[in-house]
Structure 1
């Protein structure tokens, strides 16, 4: 790991900002379903939340590239969670018609590209800690990407460990230091559902 990596910006409270996304993920994994017409409402709620997060990041002078990384991570993990539930309700069919990554990025390759973005950010000499924390959370909440059942755990574990071992997060800036109790509980619940333990 490159020990010369430095912080490019002071981290904002990304856990507070993304709390609604984390709660939506947990609700979906706990079996939340939507009747006819409700899937579009839920999809729009996710879109509005993503836009709200972007506005807050830009207001905090987070770089455009970092804003895009956070948005991509939100889209990737929500898309995967909705389609991976094995529940063909109204949410599922709305997402099949308009995945968030297609809506915002006009692409359908977030499964592999999110891992590439993680690697890209880890290689940067001045990585944005806000982005590193966001990526860490998404992976801890069980994102697997477009990998098979044998590949996904290895790729996920490698990415989580690489983020956790980043000099930006240890030892002077432990990853938990920006977590309020509420957000810690939310993440702990999500990690339990995703069969991962919080660091």
Structure 2
């Protein structure tokens, strides 16, 4: 119970987001985050009661689940991660993810507050959100539906897929067991911080 109380108290105090932002800033100093990739991965939630930030997953026979949303820089370091219901459309989460990216200081100059380019797959193909991304001053490279030979973005978007693979190393993040959404978000941000810390330690 002591561990549970500490987890809940630190979550309410905002410890985990601050730790994740701090580690992301340190990791991104190695290379300015001019190129970002975003994506989402659904995960089941076996709890009968469901809970906040859950929804019926259309591709999983309507079972209840959640989804991890992630935006990573060109080196695969996650700069922002969120939790949403499994029924939320990918494209609606693009702007919140971009706005969640913290300012990152490079080798010289003022902290960078936005990337140059964002890469996204077909799930983010919508003219309205293309305009919203452009209004933020970010160039968008988003795959278009109906492209005959594919978008070719996979040669660069693999870094965000690798970031999701690293998150799956943590068994706690493969399935959402927590009914409280903020508790699972705490584990998600802690996982991102640990991955970044391991990357920094290996440099």
Same fold judged by TM-score > 0.5?
Answer: no
Greater relative contact order: 1 or 2 (C-alpha under 8 angstroms, separation 6 or more)? 1
Q: TM-score range by the shorter chain?
A: under 0.3
Higher helix content, 1 or 2: 1
TM-score by length of 2: 0.26
Q: TM-score, normalised by structure 1?
A: 0.26
Query: Which structure shows the higher strand fraction?
Result: 2
Which has the higher Rg, Structure 1 or Structure 2? Answer: 2
